[in-house]
Amino acid sequence: MVDEAHGPHLKFHKDLPVSAVEAGADLCVQSIHKILSGLSQGSVLHFQSDLVDLARVRRVVSFLQTTSPNYLILSSLDLARRQAVMHGESMLSRVIHHAESARKRLNQTKNFSCFGRNEIMARGYDLDVTKLTVNVTRTGFSGHEIEDILAKEYRVQVDASDLFNLIAIMGIGSDKSDVDKLVSSLEDIEKKYHGSAQNWVLQIPTLATEMVMVPRDVFLLYKSKRVPLSKAAGHISAQTLTPYPPGIPVLIPGERITQAIVDYLEDLAEKDIRVVGQEGETLRTIKVVSVR
């Protein structure tokens, strides 16, 4: 089963990585609204399996879906499919060309760099070149800070950032002017700012912990309360906390909060890295299991 949310276009161009379905996935979900032209919430579930029972998949999907589908979304999915089949290759050739030229230009700057498909393939992986990961470490700024500057001063919105990188994703609607704007803004930032020499470092510790109770029991049987992050070690979490990126929970309900987890979360808060599940602008408290 593959989450291919960001890969519905892969099948439609020979210079993109093999798609999950071609690679033999039994089930695969794709967000057509992210990269192809479906309306928001337009997603598909592909099925090709001798291992999984299709009737059971239909039953499980029906638990989660309304019986009144939105026909605007359904028809936009059909149009996006048609467009990809008929024009996908030429549209994606254009996007790949723009992405590769942005990569080349950014690799000529002093402080920004982008890895390419060959470097990734040498390590045994593959790269969808329409996703441009820009390393900003040499600027002295964090990826989050550059993302903010791009948005506020240049009106350029990237998809995501972390301490060291930005990710600009391109869809079939991205054109030369979008890419030029991104690259020229970064070139301008390089000239205008001389770096804060912050030398960002993020230690990612081993965050093993024990599961004290199952999330269902935390939700149904127990009350919860908020405690300050600094005093949370030893408590049982009553919430999920997920730094994004990479989008992997550090805590889920029922897990024991260790001092290592508290230290890591405090480090993230100090660096202004958003944690999905935090109560406000900064992570100061955690919801923990209180009494039955």
Ligand X SMILES: Cc1ncc(COP(=O)(O)O)c(C=O)c1O
d(CA 64, CA 39): 19
Element (H, E) at 268: helix 259-270
Tokens describing residue 96: 């790949």
Give the burial string for 160-187 (b: 16+ CB within 10 Å, else e).
bbbbbbbbbbbbbebeeebbeebbebbb
Nearer to ligand X, 3 or 22 (CB): 3
Is the alpha carbon torsion for 114, 119, 123, 126 positive or negative?
positive
Minimum CB separation of residue 4 from ligand X in Å reads 8
Minimum CB separation of residue 62 from ligand X in Å reads 17
Nearer to ligand X, 61 or 214 (CB): 61
The yes or no reply on residue 242 touching ligand X (CB under 6 A) is no
Options 5, 202, 213, 227; binder of ligand X; rule CB under 6 A: 5
Kindly list the distances between the CA atom of residue 80 and the CA atoms of 35, 69, 168, in Å, as whole numbers in the listed order.
10, 17, 22
Minimum CB separation of residue 43 from ligand X in Å reads 4
Nearer to ligand X, 57 or 227 (CB): 57
CB 112, CB 168: distance < 8 Å: no
Minimum CB separation of residue 157 from ligand X in Å reads 15
d(CA 14, CA 32): 19
Binding track over 82-121 against ligand X, x by CB under 6 A: ----------------------------------------
Nearer to ligand X, 124 or 247 (CB): 247
Nearer to ligand X, 44 or 212 (CB): 44
DSSP string, 79-124: HHHHHHHHHHHHHHHHHHHHHHHHHHHHHTSSS-B---HHHHHHTT
In the block, tokens 């989008």 appear at 247
Nearer to ligand X, 174 or 258 (CB): 174
Question: Contacts with ligand X: how many residues (CB under 6 A)?
Answer: 4
Compute the radius of gyration of the chain from its Cα atoms.
22
The yes or no reply on residue 19 touching ligand X (CB under 6 A) is no
Q: Which of 16, 101, 213 is nearest to 224 (CA)?
A: 213
Minimum CB separation of residue 191 from ligand X in Å reads 33
d(CA 210, CA 88): 48
For residue 229, what is the DSSP state?
G
The yes or no reply on residue 31 touching ligand X (CB under 6 A) is yes
Binding track over 177-216 against ligand X, x by CB under 6 A: ----------------------------------------
The yes or no reply on residue 3 touching ligand X (CB under 6 A) is yes
Minimum CB separation of residue 244 from ligand X in Å reads 9
Options 15, 26, 43, 233; binder of ligand X; rule CB under 6 A: 43
The yes or no reply on residue 244 touching ligand X (CB under 6 A) is no
Nearer to ligand X, 5 or 73 (CB): 5
* Interface with ligand X (CB under 6 A): 3, 5, 31, 43
